[in-house]
């Protein structure tokens, strides 16, 4: 016999810069499948508003595209995007989850850029949906404890992490409960996600298997008679399971709808819950360390970002971004009002956009997009550097030549 099993179900939504317009031109079928994933999630959530609890994270760059009048017009025959976004705004039973604006792999980008990626991602969600996300989903589940102060400074209360990387200080491994993690005197709640069930959520599952698997795993957990929290997360628009246009055969028709129907009749042992509400009711949390890693690390014993740094081309791309960021911050120190400089703001936009994880993982196809942003950022920074050097020279009494 087990205690109450709560289920936090999350979906992660992201498209790299400009991809929605590229897809509608080059692969209209795929473009339609993706946009319908976004519309389908909120439609089913609203259909089961009385029992459904969902967590949905949008990258800032995806929302930026969904606000683009060109995107709205090109997809108008498929989805009314403004109406869809308004539905998300009204769906207060969907807990909105933040992530970095450009979906960067935080442990691999300059730390000086962390806070801006975090704050920009939160700000666009607050502006569009009228609600500020309290929880954070690390892109690619790439997390390191050093992120904690930046997350808290950006206003986040909790972060979802891969359960295989959580190391409770009491030595008892238990992914069915939240913890407190601290770094440099700053603490945040960490919520371990269940990698195995999350993999099934992304690839295809039925309700009977889900209930049996969750109950089996909980029964063998260290504290089966205590309230249990099962956290499952996956991409919400990748793979045929979510893109299935025959809705009875996809995630929402085959799994989510039957699940919600059972919740209505109270005939399932697993109850959907929103994490903010759940965490507010938890009286005390044990402490844990979270090892640096990402979703695809097979061994929890060490960090491995080979998927993004395994080739010299990938490593050089990260060095390029590091150098650009250093040049930007150097100019900020030299200019009296850096944010008022339009050219510097343009360079900043390009630098942050170049940190999109897709440029690394889709290297062959997307490196030209990365290179274009890097070259333009370099040119813009060079122009600003020359201007600043001229002013410094004149201020020092040496005429410019």
| CA gap 44, 35 in Å, rounded | 15
- What mean pLDDT is predicted for residues 253-267? 96
Q: How confident is the model at residue 392 (pLDDT cuts 50, 70, 90)?
A: confident
Residues 6 or more apart whose Cβ sits within 8 Å of residue 105: 139, 140, 142, 294, 305, 308, 357, 360
Quote the pLDDT of residue 118.
98
Confidence of residue 297 (pLDDT cuts 50, 70, 90): low
What band does 305 get if pLDDT is binned at 50, 70 and 90? Answer: confident
Bridge partners, 95 (sequence order): 55
Cα→Cα distances 187→100, 144, 289, Å: 19, 13, 11
Give all strands (DSSP E) within 228-293, no chain letters.
228-235, 270-272, 288-290
Residue 302 has pLDDT above 60, yes or no: no
Three-state DSSP at 204 gives coil
pLDDT tens column, 11-36: 999 999 999 999 999 999 999 999 99
Contacts of 107 (CB under 8 A, 6+ apart): 142, 143, 144, 146, 147, 292, 303, 305
* CA 106 – CA 292 distance, rounded (Å): 11
Q: In the 3-class helix/strand/coil scheme, how is 9-31 assigned residue by residue?
A: EEEEECCCCCHHHHHHHHCHHHH
Q: What is the pTM of this model?
A: 0.93
Average of per-residue pLDDT across 258-284: 94
Question: Facing residues of 97 across strands?
Answer: 57, 135
pLDDT tops 90 at residue 396: no
């Amino acid at each position: 016999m087990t205690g109450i099993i709560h289920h936090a179900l999350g979906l992660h939504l992201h498209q790299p810069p400009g991809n929605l317009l590229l897809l509608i031109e080059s692969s209209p079928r795929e473009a339609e499948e993706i946009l319908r994933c976004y519309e389908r999630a909120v439609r089913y959530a609203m259909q089961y508003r009385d029992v459904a609890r969902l967590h949905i994270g949008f990258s800032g760059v995806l929302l930026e595209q969904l606000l683009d009048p060109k995107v709205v017009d090109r997809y108008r025959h498929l989805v009314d995007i403004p109406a869809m976004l308004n539905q998300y705004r009204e769906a207060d039973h969907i807990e909105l989850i933040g992530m970095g604006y450009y979906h960067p792999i935080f442990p691999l980008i300059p730390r000086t850029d962390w806070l801006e990626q975090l704050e920009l991602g939160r700000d666009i969600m607050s502006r569009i949906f009228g609600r500020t996300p309290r929880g954070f989903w690390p892109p690619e589940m790439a997390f390191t404890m050093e992120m904690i102060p930046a997350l808290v400074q950006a206003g986040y209360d909790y972060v979802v992490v891969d359960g295989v990387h959580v190391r409770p200080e009491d030595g008892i491994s238990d992914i069915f409960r939240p913890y407190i993690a601290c770094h440099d005197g700053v603490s945040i709640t960490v919520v371990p996600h269940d990698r195995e069930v999350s993999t099934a959520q992304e690839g295809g599952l039925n309700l009977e298997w889900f209930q049996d698997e969750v109950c089996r795993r909980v029964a063998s957990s260290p504290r089966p008679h205590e309230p249990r929290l099962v956290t499952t997360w996956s991409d919400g628009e990748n793979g045929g399971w979510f893109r299935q246009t025959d809705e009875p055969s996809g995630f929402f028709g085959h799994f989510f709808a039957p699940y919600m129907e059972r919740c209505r009749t109270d005939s399932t042992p697993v109850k959907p819950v929103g994490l903010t509400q759940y965490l507010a009711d938890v009286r005390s949390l044990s402490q844990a360390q979270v090892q640096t890693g990402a979703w695809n690390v097979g061994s929890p014993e060490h960090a491995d970002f080979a998927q993004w740094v395994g080739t010299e081309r990938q490593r050089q791309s990260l060095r390029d971004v590091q150098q650009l960021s250093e040049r930007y911050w150097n100019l900020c120190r030299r200019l009296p009002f850096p944010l008022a400089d339009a050219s510097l703001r343009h360079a900043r936009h390009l630098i942050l956009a170049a940190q999109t994880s897709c440029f690394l993982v889709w290297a062959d196809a997307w490196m030209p997009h990365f290179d274009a942003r890097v070259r333009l950022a370099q040119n813009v920074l060079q122009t600003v550097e020359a201007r600043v050097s001229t002013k410094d020279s004149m201020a020092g009494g040496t005429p410019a030549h």
